[in-house]
A and B are shown apart, each in its own frame.
Chain A
Amino acid sequence: MDISGINTKKFITPGIIVLVLALLFALPLYVNLYTVVLITSILMYVVLTVSWTIFSGSTGYLSLAPAAFFGIGIYTSAILGGQMPIIIVVILGGLISFCVAALVGSLTLRLKGIYFAMFTLGLVELIKHSLLWYEIKFTGTRGRFVILIDNETIYLIMLGIFVVLLITAYLIKRSKYGLALQSIGEQEEAAAHSGVNVTLLKVVTFGISAFFMGAAGAIMATRWTYIDPMIAFNVFFSFMPVLMAIFGGMGQLYGPILGATAFAYLEELLLTKFPYYYMLIFGIIMVVAILYLPQGISGLIQKLWRRMPGGKSANT
């Protein structure tokens, strides 16, 4: 009896995940277009947040560069869109972001704490204004039109990015590199003296996290018809992943997913229902979350889980 119990438990979580993913892939078949568009933007935030957490969540390096990589993806799509299949454009957007992140990372990941955070924020502004200067000087126009794609394709590609990201994040977390990233976050010097190649690991992980941000940008651009540097490199996309990750809690992989989903849905809800009080309510929720849920939603769930009878053994 006991053995069968263990076996079912072992298959429950993967089972639920597969079921949810199957439902998500079939979603366009049974819901209206509005829901598809809404879930696409929720997925976009989830992708940005989870990819941000892969690097910053474990190493503690506060990166405010998501907008830079997201924007690089958007511009890849604006320039190459229509010239090649969209899936190639998305992968290219990711790869270019990876390269930029690896380059920037190898130069700046020696900066610690607030200096790294400020540098990454500066990076967004630097790319934004260089691009603006270039566009006005050489193309004569400020913005660009992006080839449009139907909403269902955008949704499916975004979902695809999300699935690949989820698998990547899970594999990293489970591997020895997840352990090493954690040790870097705890005590970088001791990690280096214990045989961890800290520089290489930080640069590659920073690049992987940028890959998914770039890919997300490349596909989202096709929804926006018109883009310019101000829209593409909006620092809003740097701060949202951080807030969402804090809101969801970074201890568990599902934390950032929950945080981003709840936050993105809340944003949509407040924006449509209370357009004038939207930011105000948002701010209050954020303050309350930071004060009373230091471990985020996932921390709260774990606490409740432990309080349930028999929950303790299930948790380990």
Chain B
Amino acid sequence: MRILEGEGVTKYFGGLSAVADVDFTVEEGEVLGLIGPNGAGKTTLFNLISAALVPKPGIIKFKGQNITGMKPYKICRLGIARTFQTVKIFANMPVSNNVLVGSRFGASQRMSPAEADKTTAELLEFVGLSNVSNIPAKDLTLANQKRLEVARALATKPELLLLDELMAGLNQTEVTQAMELLKQIRGEGITVIMIEHVMKAIMNVCDRIIVLHHGQKIAEGTPQEIATSKTVIEVYLGEQTHA
């Protein structure tokens, strides 16, 4: 079943098209990778799906329902959660309260305070932050702040999770741990779209990959197809190897 589809999704910043006429579909339960050089429009596409921005023109449908133009909080309650490329945690609040905001406000079905507390505790356990739940979020390492964002997003009980560069800035061990976490999230039956530059992670975890370049979709396919695609190697992987 298609969980998310976009038709002709476009966004201009002034005269520059950040995302130009992109069509995409996401199947329920899959992990979709979104790659492309810097400035390709990946984060803009995330902002369009999560309603931080409104496509003009273009339509985005979630489970068949047109969600274009809805407010971010509504999108979240419908079941789309996200993390941010530059972490946006509630820095001076305790780690547990960061997650609590998600479980008290984001879930489509209202949770009682006790249920929300339980969900929060479970998720902190899930991402491995139980032992630091009372310290201010700003005192966490970057890797843990990213895990905290994942926990907060999961607290809203999403069906679709958007992960924006979960692994950027992490060391080898942390990347391996993050990949492990991703596999667990997928095990929960949550559909994932991830933006990532860490190729090892993309190739390992994703079922399908979409490549963006200058705001346009230039390729789409399994990791194997993308890795061998000539266009992709030219515009993206090619540049990477020379750099």
> What is the interface of chain A, defined by CB distance below 8 A to chain B?
176, 179-180, 182-183, 186-187, 189-199
Contacts and interface: CB of A to CB of B under 8 A. Distances in A.
A197 B73 contact: yes
B92 A186 contact: yes
A199 B155 CA distance: 22
A199 B72 CA distance: 11
Interface stretch (B17-25, B97-105, B195-203): B97-105
B52 A194 contact: no
A179 B81 contact: no
B104 A193 contact: no
> What are the 8 tightest A-B residue pairs by CB atom distance, in nearest-first order?
A195-B106, A186-B90, A195-B105, A190-B88, A195-B76, A192-B72, A176-B104, A194-B102
A176 B104 CA distance: 7
B35 to A, nearest CB: 23
B236 interface: no
Given A193-B81, A194-B76, A197-B73, A187 B91 contact: yes
Contacts of B88: 187, 189-190
Nearest to B105: A195
Contact of B50 (A183, A186, A193): A193
Given A176-B113, A180-B105, A196-B101, 7 more contacts: A187-B88, A190-B84, A192-B73, A193-B73, A195-B105, A195-B156, A196-B73
A180 B90 CA distance: 10
A182 B93 contact: yes
Contact of B90 (A176, A190, A195, A197): A190
Contacts of B155: 194
Interface string B90-128: 111100011011101111000001000000000000000
Contacts of B71: 192, 197, 199
Contacts of B3: none
5 contacts: A180-B105, A186-B89, A186-B90, A190-B152, A193-B81
Nearest to B116: A176
A198 B73 contact: yes
A190 B81 CA distance: 10
B241 to A, nearest CB: 35
Contacts of B152: 190, 194
B114 to A, nearest CB: 13
B77 interface: yes
B213 interface: no
A315 to B, nearest CB: 13
A241 to B, nearest CB: 22
Chain A at the B interface: mostly helix, strand, loop or mixed?
helix
A193 B91 contact: no
Interface of B, helix, strand, loop or mixed by DSSP:
helix
Contact of A195 (B52, B91, B92, B102): B102
Nearest to A191: B101
Given A187-B89, A187-B91, A193-B76, A180 B101 contact: yes
A186 B88 CA distance: 9
B101 A183 contact: yes
Contacts of A187: 88-91
Contact of A190 (B75, B89, B107): B89
A126 B90 CA distance: 36
Nearest to B97: A179
Contacts of B97: 179, 182
B107 A186 contact: no
Contacts of A190: 84, 88-90, 152
B14 to A, nearest CB: 20
Contacts of A176: 104-105, 113
B82 A193 contact: yes
A189 B86 CA distance: 12
A191 B153 CA distance: 11
B73 A195 contact: yes
Contact of B156 (A183, A194, A199): A194
Contacts of B92: 186
B91 to A, nearest CB: 6
Contact of B107 (A179, A182, A195): A195
A189 B102 CA distance: 13
A182 B90 contact: yes
B91 A194 contact: no
Interface string B48-88: 00101000000000000000000111011100011010001
B72 A193 contact: yes
Contacts of B75: 193
Given A179-B100, A179-B101, A189-B52, A194 B106 contact: yes
Nearest to A188: B88
B200 to A, nearest CB: 28
